[in-house]
Amino acid sequence: MKNFWENDLLPGYYDLIVRQGTEKNRGIQTCWHVLTYSKVCSFVEESMDHLDYACGPGTLIGRYTKARSIGVDLSHNQIDYAVQNYHHSGDFIPLDNFHFRENQDSFDVITALGLFEYLNDEEILNLLDEFYFMLKENGKIIITTPNYGGLMYVLDKVLNIIGPVDYGLQNINKFSKKRLIQLINKTKFKSYKVTKFNTLFLFLSFINLNLGKKINNFIENITKNKFGFLMLLEITK
């Protein structure tokens, strides 16, 4: 997996999608990421100690949060990009230089966006044990992963065919809400909540980014987050 993230993605790949789409005020991929970051950053307050695990090019820390943040990623290319562009917003550390055991009870919130689908169940459970160790009491973990209990299977196949990057061999774990809860029930955590977000209406951002965001958020509100291509898992220690 490391070779894929290190060699197959340009440095700053996801950050450039957000930047360029925002400047043009259109783009489905941009809307997808902007909606995700906006939802996640509502859990990260300025007064918090924050770990963004699998931070990629540092977009969440650099463009959305104002906490005391550390970003960790296995790709040195993405960490180098984050340091060059967002060093003023947080510290960015390659995964092989980050030591879980040195960070007991260190973080109020840990975010891990778009990661679980690339790990098997055992890897996820081991990682959640490490997160538990690093979280302060009453701290939270915020996780996003695709919702394969709906239309995501279809969207996934289409994107892997026509998109610039094929994630087919990397995307090994496809969660529905039910299976995600079953996995979390195997951990030390007892308090969690799963909501769905990013509806079909975000595709209106092909026309206009603000239109896509506005209609998507309206639909999420009136349906009370019962539908969406992504799931947000909020876990409390």
At 180, list the tokens.
Answer: 């995600």
Question: What pLDDT sits at residue 7?
Answer: 62
Burial (CB count within 10 angstroms: exposed 0-12, middle 13-18, buried 19+), residue 29: middle
Question: How high is the mean pLDDT in each 10-residue block of the chain (237 residues)?
Answer: 62 94 95 96 97 98 97 96 97 96 96 95 97 97 91 59 52 89 94 95 95 96 92 97
Give the C-alpha separation, 3 to 84, whole Å: 22
Question: What pLDDT sits at residue 197?
Answer: 95
The whole-model pTM stands at 0.91
Question: What pLDDT sits at residue 177?
Answer: 93
Q: What are phi and psi of 42, to 5 degrees?
A: -65, -15
Question: What pLDDT sits at residue 167?
Answer: 52
85: left (phi over 0), alpha (psi -120 to 50) or beta: alpha
Q: What are phi and psi of 148, to 5 degrees?
A: -90, 15
